[in-house]
Amino acid sequence: MTLELRSTRFRAEREEAWLKLECLLGRAERGGARELTDDELVSIPALYRSALSSLNTARAISLDQALIDYLEALCARAYVFNYGARASLGERIGRFFAHDWPAAVRALWPETLVAALAMLLGAALSYSLVSADPEWFYSVIPAEMAQGRTPAASTEELRATLYGQEDEEGRTGLGVFAAFLFTHNAQIAIGAFALGFAFGAPSVLLLVFNGAVLGAFVQLFVSRGLGGDVGGWLLIHGVTELWAVTLAGAAGMSIGRALAYPGRRTRLEAAADAGRRAGVAIAGVVVMLAVAGLLEGVGRQVVTSTSLRYAVAAATAVFWGAYFFRPGPSRG
Amino acid sequence: MAAPVPKRVRTLVTPEGVPLRWELGEASERAGAFLIDAAIMLAILMALVLVLIRPILRTTLGAGTSADEAGLTLFLLAAFALRNLYFAGWELTPRAATPGKRVLGLRVAARDGGRLTAEAVFARNATRELEVWLPLSFLGAQAEAVDTWTALLGLTWSAVFLLFPLFNKDRLRAGDLIAGTWVVKAPRRRLLPDLAAERPHSALFGGTTRPHFTFTPDQVDAYGVKELHVLEEVLRTRHAPTLTEVAARIRTKIGWTAGAGERDRDFLEAYYAALRRRLEGQLLFGRRRRDKHDRG
């Protein structure tokens, strides 16, 4: 019995490297990568690979279950550290704006088209319904949302809502109003993305309904000869906001489409691909809605001339269009 | 010994080509982790209310100073960030786990064995809107004009997403499915001493070395790998009655008569070492004897 077991010798020779890896991982997990020196950080992948190779060998030659369990847990920890989301935050954000976001938006173009059509359909439908019978207005727009902008209001009152301060929120300050609009809309956009999981149907419904509200609203103002004015009032932030909402719906639909029609890939693979791409798009949508919230909460209250409002709307349209679809080597 | 419970074990091949076995987190553990995180989020929200909103309420309503406005704006943005970035923020750290997951020894990993990307983490957590907030909004809907049946239908519909992990074998949440991730157990294990190694510390106990046992080839051929692992566990748990019982069984099986003053533990350790030597020797020749019935 004086002769050592082969597996015992194997362990004795490598034990030190395993414990070193374990110690480094423990420190890195507690304090993040900053906790380690450059040399230590560089040594982790090498130690990880040697631990993996130890595990491979141990499975072949050792029957010490505790040893194999230990190595599996150690390798799993090192694996997650090695292959975890580890690009620095600055880098990651830079790549998002420079490449990932526009690419995700471009890849979503078929869904975006359908989403825009769904919204237009809703708008056209409710526009024609409300022009046929103004009573429809009340079934499309809930009272608390209309805030007095109903067919019962006089034309002068309606005009005042377009150029005056926002009646309720106006008093609480523009910054608060902008923050409220942004968080509210962004939450709905993220909801539209999440609803894509139900095969995209609720996302489409959300778009149609959003369009319907818009259509009824526009019809009310157009019927009083305020069409041009309401256009400026809506579009100054609406170009950004509606575009963002359309993209959110499109992102949801792309997930629904991947789940329903995965094509040649498995359903899970297709869903994962679509989900990651849509996730990038939806992060961008939140950024767009922050811009829209500022334009609506602050810009619209400050800029009260209709022509200037249209100018801002056109500028935002050009900006987003150029940003998403700009030609160049970074494309793809 | 309790029979081993069937575990949710999946094999994932690393980019280096080595299969790693992962044990998936149970639904109960996931729910527990979520509850811990929800409690933390609630505590943060309450702190935000105390710090940012309470000063506003104490001033006369409608006075609307600019400090109040800043407080309210900050609160809205902070609450938004908390709701949408809490989970993603934690899961982007090297531990790839929220505090709740850490407590329960869970972590997030990519299903395909590749890198866990930021977009996957974002996508898997954006769907919490569907799984958490939607059911909650239907639960609280009776205050509004929606009638009870509509609210109930909505609740049932949204409960499908909430309970989604219970209906698939990988315990995938809707978000995991969309993001291509899953939640695995990541227990920390200590490196336990090798039972077959010579005990250097035995010198501490009056310098007695391990008593010498010699087994015949027939005697070490009595068992296979499965029994070896059971024996390993018995030796590691050090439960005296079990040690005695197992030692008695093995002695009967291999026809060993205990010498005077022979301790069960010494006997079992020696037999473990001998059995492991024998089975590992066979392993080198490509033969793995599964259990005592496996006579090849």
pLDDT by 10s per residue, chain A, length 332: 456 788 888 999 999 999 999 999 888 877 666 778 888 888 989 999 999 999 999 998 888 889 998 999 899 888 878 876 666 677 888 888 888 899 999 999 999 999 999 999 999 999 999 898 888 888 877 766 666 677 878 887 778 777 765 444 444 466 777 777 788 778 778 888 888 888 888 888 888 988 888 888 888 888 888 888 888 888 888 899 999 999 999 999 999 999 889 888 888 888 888 988 898 998 899 889 888 888 887 888 788 888 899 999 999 999 999 999 887 555 44
Q: How far away is chain B from the Cα of A176, in angstroms, using its nearest Cα? A: 5
Query: Among the residues of B170-257, which ranges form H helices?
Result: 174-179, 217-220, 225-237, 240-254
What pLDDT, on the 0 to 100 scale, is given for residue B144?
A: 56
A288 and A226 in a common domain: yes
Pairs across A and B, CB distance < 8 A = 236
pLDDT class for B7, splitting at 50, 70, 90? low
Interface residue B98 vs chain A (CB under 8 A): no
Instruction: Please give the sequence-ordered ranges of beta strands (E in DSSP) within A170-280, or none if there are none.
Output: none
Fill in the amino acid letter for B50: L
What pLDDT, on the 0 to 100 scale, is given for residue B210?
A: 62
Percent of chain B with pLDDT over 90: 16
A230 and A139 in a common domain: yes
Which chain B residues in 182-221 lie under 8 Å from chain A, judged by CB atoms? 184, 186-192, 194-198, 210, 212-213
CA dist., res. B82 & res. B86, Å (int): 5
End of a domain among A31, A64, A86?
Answer: A86
Residue B180 to residue A19, Cβ atoms within 8 A: no
A266 and A172 in a common domain: yes
Query: Is residue A59 domain-resident?
Result: yes
Among partner residues A1, A62, A194, which is closest to B280 by beta-carbon distance?
A62
Point out the least confidently predicted range of A88-97, A106-115, B201-210, B248-257. Answer: B201-210
End of a domain among A86, A120, A139?
Answer: A86
Query: Is residue A225 domain-resident?
Result: yes
Interface residue A80 vs chain B (CB under 8 A): yes
A228 and A251 in a common domain: yes
Interface residue A195 vs chain B (CB under 8 A): yes
Q: Tokens in use for B43? A: 């505590």
pLDDT digits 0-9 by tens, B40-68? 999 999 999 888 887 776 655 555 566 67
Query: Is residue A1 domain-resident?
Result: no
pLDDT, average across residues B160-168: 85
Residues from chain A contacting residue B283 (CB–CB below 8 Å): 60-61, 63
pLDDT class for B145, splitting at 50, 70, 90? low
Query: Is residue A264 domain-resident?
Result: yes
A187 and A50 in a common domain: no
Residues 6+ apart with CB under 8 A from B296: B287, B289
Interface residue A257 vs chain B (CB under 8 A): no
What pLDDT, on the 0 to 100 scale, is given for residue B208?
A: 52
A243 and A139 in a common domain: yes
Q: Does pLDDT of B155 surpass 90?
A: no
A65 and A121 in a common domain: no
Residue with tokens 């103004």: A134
Point out the least confidently predicted range of A65-69, B145-149, B183-187, B189-193. Answer: B145-149
End of a domain among A62, A86, A110?
Answer: A86
CA dist., res. A295 & res. A185, Å (int): 13
Q: Are B292 and B223 in contact (CB under 8 A)?
A: yes
pLDDT class for B205, splitting at 50, 70, 90? very low
Number of structural domains chain A divides into: 2
Q: Are B184 and A76 in contact (CB under 8 A)?
A: yes
Count Cβ neighbours within 10 Å for each residue of B107-145 and write b for 16 or more, e otherwise: bbbbbebeebbbbbbbbbbbbbbbbbbbbebbeebeeee
Fill in the amino acid letter for B282: Q
Q: Which domain holds residue A262?
A: 90-325
What pLDDT, on the 0 to 100 scale, is given for residue B3?
A: 43
Fill in the amino acid letter for A326: R
Measured in whole angstroms, the distance separating CA B131 from the mean position of its chain's CA atoms is 22
A271 and A242 in a common domain: yes
Residue with the larger pLDDT of the pair B295 and A51: A51
Average pLDDT, chain B: 82
Q: Cα separations (Å) of A211 from A119, A146, A183, A228, B47? A: 4, 15, 20, 19, 39
Query: Is residue A197 domain-resident?
Result: yes
Interface residue B179 vs chain A (CB under 8 A): yes
What pLDDT, on the 0 to 100 scale, is given for residue B187?
A: 75
Point out the least confidently predicted range of A28-37, A299-308, B179-188, B252-261. Answer: A28-37
A203 and A287 in a common domain: yes
Interface residue B99 vs chain A (CB under 8 A): no
pLDDT digits 0-9 by tens, B9-46? 888 888 888 888 888 888 899 999 999 999 999 999 99
A153 and A68 in a common domain: no
What pLDDT, on the 0 to 100 scale, is given for residue B39?
A: 95
Query: Is residue A330 domain-resident?
Result: no
Q: Does pLDDT of B137 surpass 90?
A: no
What does DSSP assign to residue B24?
A: B
Q: What is the pTM of this model?
A: 0.77
Domain boundaries, chain B: 9-185, 200-284
A147 and A73 in a common domain: no
Residue A85 to residue B198, Cβ atoms within 8 A: no
